[in-house]
Structure 1
Amino acid sequence: MEEASSCSLNSTTLFQQEDAKGITYRIPALLYIPPSCTFLAFAEKRSTVKDEDALYLVLRRGVMRGRSVQWGPLQPLLEATLPGHRTMNPCPVWEQNTGRVYLFFLCVQAHVTERCQIMWGKNACRLCFLCSEDAGCSWGEVKDLTEEVIGSEVKHWATFAVGPGHGIQLQSGRLIIPAYAYYISHWFFCFPCSVKPHSLMIYSDDLGVTWHHGKFIGPQKTGECQVAEVTGRAGNPVLYCSARTPNRFRAEAFSCDCGDYFQKPTLNPQLREPRYGCQGSVVSFRPLKMPDIRQDPSGKDSPTTQKYPLLDSSLEAEEGAGRWLFYSHPTSKKHRLNLGIYCNRNPLEVTCWSCPWILRYGPCGYSDLAVVEEQGLLACLFECGKEHGYEQIDFCLFSDQEVLSCDDCTSPMN
């Protein structure tokens, strides 16, 4: 891989660990609401760094002022709680017709770990959401959707989760919340003997009134995921999914039916996973300036690339669509280090990801991207630190041109 470029921008710390073994903020989720030029930045507040010590969600609201953001104080989201449960995995989505914000999350029994649920095959999670009518200034009552969305199938789900990160609304109006579940395919007496994680989508076709879930993405193991809408054959919408795996590389999959069913995922050797994997974020972005994607920065023709099956990725269709993919993830293949921003200017091609532009050197972790298209900007909310990747959660604004500011970042990775 070619040498990466580094971000020279200043970031803003929104959530800070209070002491080395105490209060910690993890699992960022970021949402931008265009009409009010408002950012909603979410995180989990934990009594320690451990997942089982999550407490409740917290929120900071930010308002765009030119090319900067004015942030309000930290607010606890105590509405997003169930008695006897801890709250985890914020996953917000904005519904543009009604202006509502839906905040999905998990409520997990007491200190029951994910490992314990998988080992015994006994789910301890509830699928919940809140709704805000005023861009996150106030929130309604918590609603438990577990029975509506999963129902009797939950006996085959050792555990599940949403996001973490953001959901999206498709051109069709469908709302999508990315999720994953540990599915039990075989039992031996009272013990699950075959449990595998699979990504899937939770969706609503009636502006958030009712919710359902799609089919599992497989057969490979896929976990935490995010999705973005791109354009396929004859301008038809295609849903792109980027999923965490334990297999050293990121899994990518496409859906031609708005997320109900995905084609078999493919591991992409350009997008490395550290040991055990890490969550990553993806957004679809329409740049203000559209370069000629037929050539690389040196003026030579772009290399021939392999196409995904059943999808038409002609240059004419892509130029008409004019949407790129941006992806954030640690760049090291061994550890959670050096958070990178990758760009794919031809989203349906296997080998068109740029080399990473390093947003933050050093320890890092989970991240979430958002788009401010009216200004040609992207935003990232990400875990980072000096010694560990969970010391703080920072926010940074940047442009697509900054990501593509040097030749190293605009040529395909080796």
Structure 2
Amino acid sequence: MNPCPVHDAHTATIFLFFIAVRGHTPEATQIATGRNAARLCCVTSRDAGRSWGTARDLTEEAVGGAEQGLTTNCPLRSPQTDLGVTLTLVGGIEDWATFAVGPGHGIQLRSGRLLVPAYTYRVDRRECFGRICRTSPHAFTFYSDDHGRTWHRGGLVPNLRSGECQLAALDGGQAGGLLYCNARSPLGSRVQALSTDEGASFLPGELVPALAETAWGCQGSILGFPGPLRSLRVERWSAGARNHPQSPHLCPGVRQPSEEGITDTQGDQGLSGMEGCKSSPQEPGLGPGLSGTRGAWAPRLPWLPATLSQSPTWLLYFHPVGRRARLHMGIHLSRSPLDPHSWTEPWVIYEGPSGYSDLASIGPTLKGALTFACLYESGARVSYEEISFCMFSLAEVLQNVPAGPKPHSHGGKPRERCRPS
């Protein structure tokens, strides 16, 4: 479950992380009982994926002490081959009900550190008349500083509920850099958190009101890349300035579903229905110390070097734009990643049910255009009928998203555009 690859460019090794679950124990059962049944596993390839080594069980090494010591020889089996892993059936650390990695991809920092995004359901109160009282999801990372020989777990995003996440390195020039985490959340908006120690710990997270979350949440992709030079930025902003983005077009080869009968019954959501034109429920308050205005945001981070406020890194975010269901895959752009209100409105590249995704930069084309690729779930009636592949350039993104950030709502209902469904 939850495949999550990370590539070590220094050793040309691909680490493919995944979770193995004992028996048929659903995540919901682990959360309800507070008894973890998940194992952290990894396979590696040194020939660009043509062959793979045997699976490693990294749970004891990377997750930590166990609650129970029941041991059995239980081979893990994949659809294609017997991986031959011996599972030690033990729980996670004492206050984890369960955990998982990804899904999506990990990253490597300039220092060489390998990072794998992950999340856990922490048991906040264990005993309540013989049952688990309360759990909460929190994003974190697994990391390695020795090219994957050993792995460690970082600290959790400490405050807001945050789940499936992806990471991006924000380049700060000579001032160093930050690690940016963007996570799924049940709070109505995405959650972002920053790390100043390369993912070993995270500062308190904050809601990103410009990035609406679907009901119950959905995994989303994040990708950092070097922004264009200042002269190109000015040219693009001027050429692309408009009140509304261009009419969205579908990626080549991706079929458009019929306009009737679209439903989405994603298994982990329990939802079905259509994306309408009604406003979503009000989002929860930002909480103490979290300002709702753009002007008041900058002073909240006095520890940041001044040069980091002008980070040359831009971010792309890929996620369904529907609030009630997983509908209409959209691309958002942020030219100022430290500002949670800097995200543009989406450029919708697929009309219809869509879900999980993973973004990658595939470098400049022969003509020098920075190009991206994405794998994403799509379908005609539900969001996971197919896996679609799409390529697009930065120039196309700049032509199809507004020149500036999405207008920030000051207490009113969220702005939402009606789309055919």
Q: Please, what TM-score do these two structures have when normalized by structure 2?
A: 0.72
1:107 to 11, 20, 23: 20
Separation (CA, whole Å) in 1 of partners of 2:309 and 2:160: 29
Map Cα deviations across residues 282-336 of structure 1 (whole Å, 9 max, x no partner): 011125665346995459xxx968325146486x6566x5321111011112111
The yes-or-no answer on 1:309 pairing with 2:301 is: yes
Separation (CA, whole Å) in 1 of partners of 2:151 and 2:6: 13
Percent sequence identity over aligned pairs: 42
Aligned to 1:147: 60
Separation (CA, whole Å) in 1 of partners of 2:382 and 2:308: 44
Paired residue secondary structure (1:410): coil
Amino acid at match of 1:242: N
Separation (CA, whole Å) in 2 of partners of 1:345 and 1:313: 18
Aligned to 1:378: 372
Q: Do the aligned partners of residues 294 and 268 (structure 1) sit closer, same or farther apart at CA in structure 2, a change above 3 Å counting?
A: farther
* Cα RMSD, aligned residues only: 2.3
Paired residue secondary structure (2:7): strand
Paired residue secondary structure (2:317): strand
Q: Is the 8 A contact 2:175 2:305 kept in 1?
A: no
Q: Displacement of 1:185 after TM fit?
A: 2.7
Aligned to 2:139: 199
The yes-or-no answer on 1:92 pairing with 2:92 is: no
Q: Do the aligned partners of residues 305 and 377 (structure 1) sit closer, same or farther apart at CA in structure 2, a change above 3 Å counting?
A: farther
Any gaps of 5 or more consecutive residues in structure 2? 67-91, 243-293, 408-421
Map Cα deviations across residues 22-64 of structure 1 (whole Å, 9 max, x no partner): xxxxxxxxxxxxxxxxxxxxxxxxxxxxxxxxxxxxxxxxxxx
Deviating above 4 A after TM superposition, structure 1's stretches of 4 or more consecutive aligned residues are: 287-290, 293-296, 311-314, 316-319
Map Cα deviations across residues 95-144 of structure 1 (whole Å, 9 max, x no partner): 01100000000011232111111111111111000000001000000000
Amino acid at match of 1:383: E
Amino acid at match of 2:117: P
Separation (CA, whole Å) in 1 of partners of 2:173 and 2:295: 19
Q: Is the 8 A contact 1:184 1:195 kept in 2?
A: yes
Q: Is the 8 A contact 1:313 1:348 kept in 2?
A: no
Amino acid at match of 1:219: N
1:353 to 314, 320, 343: 343
Stretch moving more, 350-359 or 203-212: 350-359
Q: Is the 8 A contact 1:233 1:312 kept in 2?
A: no
Q: Displacement of 1:395 after TM fit?
A: 0.7
Q: Do the aligned partners of residues 231 and 312 (structure 1) sit closer, same or farther apart at CA in structure 2, a change above 3 Å counting?
A: farther
1:171-210 alignment to 2 at 5 Å? 171-188=110-127, 190-210=130-150
Separation (CA, whole Å) in 2 of partners of 1:243 and 1:317: 22
Separation (CA, whole Å) in 2 of partners of 1:318 and 1:183: 33
Q: Do the aligned partners of residues 287 and 157 (structure 1) sit closer, same or farther apart at CA in structure 2, a change above 3 Å counting?
A: same
Amino acid at match of 1:149: A
Map Cα deviations across residues 217-248 of structure 1 (whole Å, 9 max, x no partner): 12211100011000348531100000110011
Paired residue secondary structure (1:383): strand
Aligned to 2:390: 396
Q: Displacement of 1:187 after TM fit?
A: 1.9
1:238-277 alignment to 2 at 5 Å? 238-277=178-217
The yes-or-no answer on 1:338 pairing with 2:328 is: yes
1:387 to 361, 365, 381: 381
Aligned to 2:169: 229
Stretch moving more, 110-119 or 185-194: 185-194
Q: Is the 8 A contact 1:202 1:212 kept in 2?
A: yes
Aligned to 2:99: 160
Q: Is the 8 A contact 1:156 1:185 kept in 2?
A: yes
Q: Do the aligned partners of residues 403 and 295 (structure 1) sit closer, same or farther apart at CA in structure 2, a change above 3 Å counting?
A: closer
Greater fraction strand? 1
Q: Is the 8 A contact 1:330 1:365 kept in 2?
A: yes
Separation (CA, whole Å) in 1 of partners of 2:305 and 2:399: 25
Q: Do the aligned partners of residues 93 and 273 (structure 1) sit closer, same or farther apart at CA in structure 2, a change above 3 Å counting?
A: same
Separation (CA, whole Å) in 2 of partners of 1:178 and 1:135: 21
Aligned to 1:54: none
Separation (CA, whole Å) in 2 of partners of 1:202 and 1:345: 28
Map Cα deviations across residues 360-412 of structure 1 (whole Å, 9 max, x no partner): 11100001101112431111100000111011000111111111104x53221
1:27-42 alignment to 2 at 5 Å? none
Q: Displacement of 1:178 after TM fit?
A: 0.4
Q: Which has the higher contact order (CA 8 A, sep 6+)?
A: 1
Aligned to 1:326: 316
Q: Do the aligned partners of residues 341 and 311 (structure 1) sit closer, same or farther apart at CA in structure 2, a change above 3 Å counting?
A: farther
Q: Do the aligned partners of residues 351 and 295 (structure 1) sit closer, same or farther apart at CA in structure 2, a change above 3 Å counting?
A: farther
Q: Do the aligned partners of residues 210 and 358 (structure 1) sit closer, same or farther apart at CA in structure 2, a change above 3 Å counting?
A: same
Paired residue secondary structure (2:329): strand
Any gaps of 5 or more consecutive residues in structure 1? 1-87
Number of equivalences: 322
Separation (CA, whole Å) in 1 of partners of 2:51 and 2:223: 27
Stretch moving more, 171-180 or 344-353: 344-353
